[in-house]
Amino acid sequence: MPDKTPLRVIFLADTRPGHYHIAQGVIAALSRLRPVDVTRVEVQRKWIVPTRWLRARINAKSFYPPRMLRMAYRIDAETIPEADLVVSAGGETQMPNICVTRLLDVPNIFCGSLLRGLEPDNFSLIVSSYERDEGSDKHLVVLKPSSIDPDELGRPKVVPRFGADNRPKTLGLLIGGRAGRFHYRDSEWEALLAFVRDVSKAWGTRWLISTSRRTPDAVADRVKEMARDETVVAKFIDFRTAGPGTLPEIFTKSDAIVCTEDSSSMISEAVSARLPVIGVSPRASRFTEDEQLYRDFLMHKGWSRTVPIAELSPERFALALAEVEPIQENPLDALAQKLKARLPGLFQ
């Protein structure tokens, strides 16, 4: 019989949505096994404290968690309630995760890559999306967790494969912008929007388009203008007025997703929603080593493909779509069962 007692979770969150959304995905999976009672603690590191010093203190015999929490992260240990589990994602949460875990003497889950010099034994479970971690008894290698539930979105249980012989009627386009090593030329934005019009003309497909906080105003203005033609754009969600949290509406109504490659989180969430995903990339683009490994993981699984913006056409797009086999299971349910198998003590 399932345990109805709430699982008390300390959720350590940094300021980056791409990180804390992953931790929220893990917590959402846990909630499918038993109720959760979550205490969110914001992590704001004092940058005057060097990482090498923190790492040395973590491994020192004189390590005292309350002192490190107060000195490095402005967290008062006395304000942290009793809990059964600590969950966090992102490099800046690793040290406080260890501190709170040792303070409360409870299991912990970290999502991401470990800082150099930190041993996996500091964590009960490390949720990774890199195939290099396969086989480690401390790692669980899965799609980056997301709290998006494809069943709640009304996504089909059996997801068809699209291509030249099965053209999508409605496509979602998620537009990011300049980030890290991704730089878009004006001509590439023009080429992307021309592709949108070409697909609509060739296939009769209509688009649901959303911009993001990184999208240049000039690009958002061009999309807004294009959205006047309802035969091309069924709906335009302008981040400047709509704000965050609009992706589920796109996912609910789309047959497949096109997403600029600068946004790992948007691509991951679209894959989690059981959608075929095609990433589009500018010429000036390069992933970090970890990010490249993650994109390789997604493509190796057959969940996504990438097409350079310079090569976009309805025909090239159809070929890429035909290679994608979307996830058929509910990723939240699958993750829940894996967590139960790896941390059975939480679900007795």
pLDDT given at position 180: 82
153-183 per-position pLDDT tens digit: 999 888 889 999 999 999 999 999 998 889 9
Domain for residue 217, yes or no?
yes
Residues 182, 241 share a domain: yes
187-200 per-position pLDDT tens digit: 999 999 999 999 99
Domain for residue 2, yes or no?
no
Residues 308, 187 share a domain: yes
Count structural domains, the chain: 2
Which CATH number belongs to the domain containing residue 334 in this structure? Answer: 3.40.50.2000
Residues 82, 29 share a domain: yes
Residue 278 has pLDDT above 60, yes or no: yes
* Contact in structure between 261 and 182 (CB atoms under 8 Å): yes
Domain for residue 338, yes or no?
yes
pLDDT given at position 255: 97
Q: How many CA atoms lie within 13 A of 309 on its CB side?
A: 24
Residue 40 has pLDDT above 80, yes or no: yes
The pTM of the full predicted model, rounded to 2 decimals, is 0.90
Instruction: Give the pLDDT band (50/70/90) at residue 107.
Output: very high
pLDDT given at position 1: 52
Residues 117, 39 share a domain: yes
Domain for residue 95, yes or no?
yes
Domain for residue 1, yes or no?
no
What residues make up the domain containing 31?
Answer: 7-147+330-347
Residues 155, 140 share a domain: no
Residues 257, 156 share a domain: yes
Residues 168, 75 share a domain: no
Residues 101, 38 share a domain: yes
Domain for residue 181, yes or no?
yes
Residues 109, 29 share a domain: yes
Separation of alpha carbons 86 and 8, rounded Å = 9
Residues 300, 155 share a domain: yes
Residues 107, 90 share a domain: yes
Domain for residue 225, yes or no?
yes
Closest CA to 146 of 17, 299, 288: 17
Domain for residue 78, yes or no?
yes
Separation of alpha carbons 171 and 134, rounded Å = 34
pLDDT given at position 335: 97
Strand partners, 210: 174, 237
SS (H, E, C) 199-210: HHHHHCCEEEEE
Residues 252, 238 share a domain: yes
